[in-house]
Amino acid sequence: MLEAINETISYIKKETQLHPDTAIILGTGLGKIAEEIEAEVSIPYEKIPHFPVSTVQGHDGKMIIGKYAGKEVIVLKGRFHYYEGYSMQEVTFPIRALKFLGIKNLFISNAAGGMNPEFEIGDVMFINDHINLMPNPLIGKHFPEFGARFPDMSDVYNRILIEKALEVAARQQLNAHTGTYVGVTGPTLETPKEYEYIRIIGGDAVGMSTVPEAIIAHQMGMTIFAISVITDLGIPGKIEKLTHEMVQQAAEKVTPKLVKVIEEIIAGI
């Protein structure tokens, strides 16, 4: 694993003069945020040694290194999901590579279904906790280079950044909440009873990503800020037949306001 990471980062370092300490993962429908980056280099995932290749519509799979809000950043446009058939080690490989590239702050975004009755489509939720219903990405051989065998998970999502994001969202008139994200494998969306179950166990939003990335990043000591865009509702009476295109479109609509939130937070760190 370390050898693979070294090959990955030496390839990336040859492509850029910059030394970013912040990275952003763009989820479904949020790829347009990448247009805000003053790109120095854009590398398709196929070219990066050991990177898996994203297979999902709406995720076009590239690493963009450049400047955003006056800061040097790495943007991962498109991510890897467990439901695509990758192992959890493959899904989270880019996060470990980012850490070894010098990334300290990780911003994660996703599209998610909302179960909290106060949520509406187009709202955002700043994640303040998660429940993992996917296989744990740390199952398997332990590599002490990445951190503890039994990582503490009492404080994964940075509270200061959440407070700041709530302030910015209020100024942008963006409906923002905080809450618990429940990570599921997918690729099926939830049945009404599954939404109900996820709500009962404490979930505010549900989706098929983010949790493995956050676990791996937290084990390595990164500062994490994660945003769900609520693209559909898993609330009794409000559940509708859902397609991936609907998820994409709902996320795209929120992008302009979300860009402002991310920009201000990055400028402030």
Instruction: Return the residue of 231, 235, 254, 261 that touches ligand HPA, per CB under 6 A.
Output: 231
226 binds ligand HPA (CB under 6 A): no
Comparison of 147 and 183: residue with beta carbon closer to ligand HPA: 183
Stretch that binds ligand HPA, among 123-131, 170-178, 206-214, 252-260 (CB under 6 A): 206-214
**In this structure, are residues 165 and 261 in contact, taking their beta carbons and an 8 Å threshold?**
yes
- Cβ-based neighbour number of residue 17 at 10 Å: 9
Distance of CA 135 to the CA centre of its chain: 17
**In this structure, are residues 30 and 251 in contact, taking their beta carbons and an 8 Å threshold?**
yes
Comparison of 74 and 182: residue with beta carbon closer to ligand HPA: 182
Q: How far apart are CA 227 and CA 176, in angstroms?
A: 10
Phi, psi (deg, nearest 5) at residue 102: 105, 10
Stretch that binds ligand HPA, among 1-9, 97-105, 116-124, 203-211 (CB under 6 A): 203-211
End-to-end CA distance of the chain: 30
Whole-number minimum distance, CB 1 to ligand HPA, in Å? 29
208 binds ligand HPA (CB under 6 A): yes
Stretch that binds ligand HPA, among 134-142, 168-176, 182-190, 212-220 (CB under 6 A): 182-190
211 binds ligand HPA (CB under 6 A): no
Instruction: Return the residue of 20, 61, 66, 113 that touches ligand HPA, per CB under 6 A.
Output: 113
* Ordered DSSP codes for 161-226: HHHHHHHHHHHTT--EEEEEEEE---SS---HHHHHHHHHTT-SEEESSSHHHHHHHHHTT-EEEE
Residues in touch with ligand HPA (CB under 6 A)? 111-113, 186, 189-190, 206-208, 231-232, 234, 247
